Amino acid sequence: MTSDNDRRRGLLARLRGRPVARSRGRRRLGAAVRLFAALMLAGGAYTVFAPGAQAQDNPPMSAAAGEGKALFDVSCVTCHGRNAQGVEGRGPSLIGVGSAAVEFQVSSGRMPMARQEAQAMRKPPAFTDEQVRQLGQYIQELGGGPQVPEGNNLHQNADLAAGGELFRINCSQCHAFGGGGGALSSGKYAPSLHPASDRQIYAAMLSGPQNMPVFGDNQLRPEQKADIIAYIQENLKHTQDQGGFNLGRYGPSTEGLAAFLIGIVALVFASLWIAGKS
């Protein structure tokens, strides 16, 4: 039994030589003290090394995000679900979409959607800029994600020509050469860029809304995004057309229509008139 006890004793005890017989109560007390000390040590080490603040269950939200959550719980929760986790068959999860997506969808009036259809349409926005910012802040604090830089003019000192080239390579396939938009399959479409603000274009490139691909900062660097925005805002939107009325800039289809509706109609009337002169 003693040899058995000997073998079972720890290294320190063996070094100290034969143990002094202790009372059962003392042994119990010592075990409790050691356990407490070990727990204190482990807990203390954990509190020192672990990322303490974020580990809490319900981090306090900023005031703006709190406002945003209140708006969300009234206007968005039906489709995007509690805590923006999404509802099967109604709306996707918004975890990780970032404030860029919120800003694009809500400030352009696309969200809240009027009904489920191929694609959300641009409408007069339902929220003020401040409310959009609060909603964005809420989603941002909920799951993180891309954010649009500060400021309303995002194309200062940008290179128009470089923007034009990038626009033709990356954007004109869907939004067309004049930024007027174009059709996609099954009722989807690339919308016209003419009503879009700098921030909305930037947010769209960052978040890739609906059918648009994401142009993250490793595909188009922020200064290239600024170039594209400059080309859209300064050239496609603000330039008066050099050749006169642009017929909607829809390409040869409206030009052909005009050739008949204006040219041929005018000339047929002219021939009626001149043949009637006798």
Partner 1 sequence: MKRRKFDVAAVPAKTAGALDDRFQAATPLRKLLNKVFPDHWSFLLGEIALFSFVVLLLTGVFLTFFFEPAMTEVVYNGSYAPLRGTPMSAAYASSLNLSFDVRGGLVMRQMHHWAALLFMASIVVHMLRVFFTGAFRKPRETNWVIGSLLFWVGFLAGFTGYSLPDDALSGTGLRIASGIMLSIPVIGSWVTSSIFGGEFPGAILISRAFIAHVLLIPGLLVALISVHLGLVFKQKHTQWPGPGRTNENVVGERMFPRYALKQGGFFMLVFGVIALMGGLFQINPIWYFGPYEAWTVSAASQPDWYVMFLDGSTRLMPAWEINIPIGDGYVIPPIFWPTVVLPGILVGISLLYPFLEARQLKDYKHHNLLQRPRDVPARTAAGAMAVAFFLVLTLTGANDVIADKFHISLNAMTWAGRIGLLIVPPLAYYVAYRMCLGLQQHDREVLAHGVETGIIKRLPDGRFVEVHQPLTAAADDGHGELDYVGWVVPKKMNRLGALGPAIRGFFYPIERPAEAPVSPGHPPVEARPEREEITSGESRR
List the binding residues for heme c: 76, 79-80, 171, 174-175
Please state, in angstroms and rounded to a whole number, the distance separating the CA atoms of residues 66 and 276.
Answer: 78
Alpha-carbon distances of 29 from 23, 25, 33, 54, 271, rounded to whole Å: 10, 6, 6, 37, 119
Please state, in angstroms and rounded to a whole number, the distance separating the CA atoms of residues 104 and 192.
Answer: 14
Q: To the nearest whole angstrom, how small is the minimum distance from the Cβ of residue 241 to partner 1?
A: 5
Residue of 143, 181, 210, 212 that binds partner 1 (CB under 8 A): 181
Based on the shown chain and the rule CB under 8 A, indicate whether residue 243 belongs to the binding site for partner 1: yes
Residue of 29, 37, 169, 214 that binds partner 1 (CB under 8 A): 169
Based on the shown chain and the rule CB under 8 A, indicate whether residue 257 belongs to the binding site for partner 1: yes
Alpha-carbon distances of 201 from 83, 104, 158, 233, rounded to whole Å: 27, 8, 15, 10
- Residue pair 138/94 in contact (Cβ under 8 Å)? The answer is no
- Residue pair 229/198 in contact (Cβ under 8 Å)? The answer is yes
Q: Is 35 helix (H, G, I), strand (E, B) or coil?
A: helix
Based on the shown chain and the rule CB under 8 A, indicate whether residue 255 belongs to the binding site for partner 1: yes
Based on the shown chain and the rule CB under 8 A, indicate whether residue 115 belongs to the binding site for partner 1: no
Based on the shown chain and the rule CB under 8 A, indicate whether residue 241 belongs to the binding site for partner 1: yes
Stretch that binds partner 1, among 40-48, 90-98, 175-183, 217-225 (CB under 8 A): 175-183
Binding site for partner 1 (CB under 8 A): 118, 160-161, 163-165, 168-169, 172-178, 180-187, 189-190, 231, 234-236, 241-247, 249-260, 262-264, 266-268, 270-278
